[in-house]
Structure formats: C-alpha cells, structure tokens
C-alpha cells in the first residue's frame, strides 16, 4: 500500500471526500470495517460528526455508515477533495 499523500479518515473535515487506500488497525476491527464496505478503492464522504466528534457519519457505496473516531483513525485515505461550498451572491446584484 502506497502511503504517499495519504492521511487518516478521522482527519477529514465534514464535506470532504476521499478514496480508501487501506485499513491499518486491530485484526477484528479491520475485518469489521472491510465487511462494512470500507474497502480499498471505495470513495467515502464525511457527512457529519456528532457534537463531541464521535461517531463520524460517512456516505459510501450508496448508504450511510457511522463509525467511531478511533476506528476512522485506522482507515488510510488519499485523493482528498473538499466540498465546494456555494458562494452567496451579493444582495440586489443582477446578472448581465
């Protein structure tokens, strides 16, 4: 597994998307995360975090998944893309 430019899933901000590169954690937790769909090559988006930061809600493979922050730290991701937020237009501005 190449780790060039890789970060941990738990480091992503809400609205960010990335591709799973691998899962590096305890064997039982790794198996569970893989069974839940966090497979290498899978695109994930961080949808939201609980008020105290745990758990993290993800969107992947057409469904939503919540995992603990410590589990998210075991998932290595790459190609991080932050969601572009819409820029509000000026009040009263008109288009040409």
The total domain count for the chain is 1
Is residue 92 domain-resident? Answer: no
Whether omega before 83 lies within 30 degrees of 0, making that bond cis, reads: no
CB 10 within 8 A of CB 69: yes
State which residues form the domain around 40.
Answer: 7-81
* Mean pLDDT, rounded, for 20-37: 94
57-81 pLDDT per residue, tens: 999 999 999 999 999 999 999 977 6
Residue 24 sits in a domain whose CATH number is 2.30.30.90
Is residue 59 domain-resident? Answer: yes
Is residue 94 domain-resident? Answer: no
pTM confidence score: 0.75
Is residue 54 domain-resident? Answer: yes
Is residue 86 domain-resident? Answer: no
Containing 34, the helix (H) or strand (E) segment is helix 27-35
Is residue 1 domain-resident? Answer: no
């Amino acid at each position: 597994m190449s780790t060039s430019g890789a970060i941990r899933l738990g480091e992503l901000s809400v609205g960010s998307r990335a591709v799973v590169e691998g899962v590096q954690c305890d064997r039982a937790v790794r198996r569970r995360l893989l069974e839940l769909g966090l497979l290498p090559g899978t695109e994930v988006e961080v949808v939201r975090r609980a008020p105290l930061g745990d758990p993290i809600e993800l969107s992947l493979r057409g469904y939503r998944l919540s995992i603990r922050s410590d589990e998210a730290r075991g998932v290595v991701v790459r190609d991080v893309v932050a969601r572009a937020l819409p820029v509000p237009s000026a009040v009263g501005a008109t288009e040409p």
